Structure 1
Amino acid sequence: MRPSSLALRLKETFLRTDDGALMRYAFFSLLAAAGIFVAIDVRELSLANANLPGHDPMHTEAPVLPPALTDGVPQAPPVQPESPPEVLRQPMRFELLSGGTLRAEGSIDVGAATRFAEEIEARGEYVKSVALNSPGGSVDDALAMSKLIRDKGLNTRVASKALCASSCPIVFAGGVTREAEKDAVIGVHQVFNAGPARPSPEQAMSGAQSTTGRIARHLDEMGIGAGLWINALETPPDRLYYLTPDEMAEFKLTTDPVATAKQQD
């Protein structure tokens, strides 16, 4: 059975299952990831881990916004982001806006989480929410930012025509309330950590599974439905699965502000 077929069967099975089986299908998604990475050519893994175009949004030739996942001719994203590619390629920077909103814009470079933590520490309790506009980047930094957002009880938002792709939805998932405005562009695909050295096939496989496990566990802890990560697993790194508003609500990536407020009372 081809890995893509396995992932498709897992997704179809998930959609027929209630929330009580979430952890079981999170485990199944790890198995799907293992199948995907076993099937990937060793040369492709080496190139990906060498940070070549198509895998690193900060690379000058890498596509900031990959085409949608399709069986035929790749399709453009549903909405074109407002920010130009040169803005999104820059290392992530932070700007304090009115109303306690901290804007995080640019690629999630190695060290972004440290700068983010310093920014939050310097602003004290004034920051209430984080507005994201990013094509993704470092998984480790995305996980650390997401955890800090949840620890601090902050909200997250993706504005209209802003981008949150690749590892950025991991950061978005950390918000207590999570809002995607109309025409926000949010997409997921396979992600894994890329190091400076080219690993052996065994090391690449181990690293891919470890990263997949950490992401799946974190999303579960954030209350995100397993269907989100299954869609990511079956989408190669040079494509994006663009989420519809209905899918974001179904996977609990976005929240109902009214229901969340009632839970906090």
Structure 2
Amino acid sequence: MKQLNVHSVMAFILWGGCALFLAGCSHQITSPSHIKFVNEQLSFVVEGNTAYVSGVLGHESKQELSRFIQKNPNISTLALVDIQGSLDQQATMETARLIRRLKLDTVIVRTGYVVSGGVDLFLGGVNRTIESGAGVGVHSWLDMYGVDPQELNMADPIHATYVNFYLEMGIPERFYWFSLDASPPERVYFLSPEEIYDFNLVTF
């Protein structure tokens, strides 16, 4: 039986500022295949009750966030500046669940972005806000062994892991299937404001 961690390496850095923050646009941007993650951890900058978060989600992200909140118990909001993706999707899901258990809110800041697993992190927020000009990028996953999710049976347990996570976060199942079809793994599709609202990514 396939395990979720076999496709832990499935995130791509969004390269450059580009014109990807154009309001109302949804489009793809190619990520150069030679780009590597140089900082496989999160960084936090505290300002009042808000922590500004950047970096790459990795195997220790849940522990990093837990330690940070223990040292900063006044934090109520995680402001996502540039979450470039995930190296371990299972760990990313557990980090999002921790955000929900801690009753933290999430916001993607103006001209900030979340990509791939970064979107899942954002979904952990009890209250979720996306500021004008922010980017939300999705694509199909790909595991290190080249397993193509499009070739898996729809009833495969790997699909169920994702679907159950989204339902747990209050996101419709169709968001998962949309993400698979929106873009291949080597590219990123940025959602339009209409798609963001249609999939309930923000709360009211």
- What TM-score do you get using the length of structure 2 for normalisation? 0.75
Q: Return the match for 2:197 from 220, 224, 249.
A: 249
Cα distance between partner residues in 1 of 2:7 and 2:175: 24
Letter in 1 for 2:21: V
The answer on 1:79 being equivalent to 2:21 is yes
Cα distance between partner residues in 1 of 2:147 and 2:117: 24
Equivalent pairs counted in the alignment come to 179
Corresponding position of 1:171: 121
Percent of residue pairs bearing the same amino acid type:
22
SS at match of 1:161: strand
Runs (5+) with no aligned partner, structure 1: 1-47, 58-63, 67-75, 257-265
Q: Deviation per CA, 1:113-148: give whole Å up to 9, x if none.
A: 211111122222x01011222121121121011101
Q: 1:110, CA displacement in angstroms?
A: 1.9
Return the structure number with greater helix share.
1
Q: Return the match for 1:149 from 99, 103, 107.
A: 99
- Which is higher, the Rg of structure 1 or of structure 2? 1
Is this contact kept in 1: 2:113–2:135, CA < 8 A? yes
Q: Deviation per CA, 1:48-82: give whole Å up to 9, x if none.
A: 9695xxx454xxxxxx227xxxxxxxxx76328xx
Higher relative CO (Cα under 8 Å, sequence separation at least 6) belongs to 2
**Which of structure 1's runs of 4+ aligned residues deviate more than 3 A?**
48-51, 198-201
SS at match of 2:161: helix
Aligned pairs for 1:199-218 within 5 A: 209-218=156-165
The answer on 1:94 being equivalent to 2:47 is no
Corresponding position of 2:135: 185
Runs (5+) with no aligned partner, structure 2: 1-5, 23-31
Return the structure number with greater strand share.
2
Is this contact kept in 2: 1:188–1:231, CA < 8 A? no
Q: Quickly say closer, same or farther: Cα 1:216–1:200, change in 2 above 3 A.
A: closer
SS at match of 1:162: strand
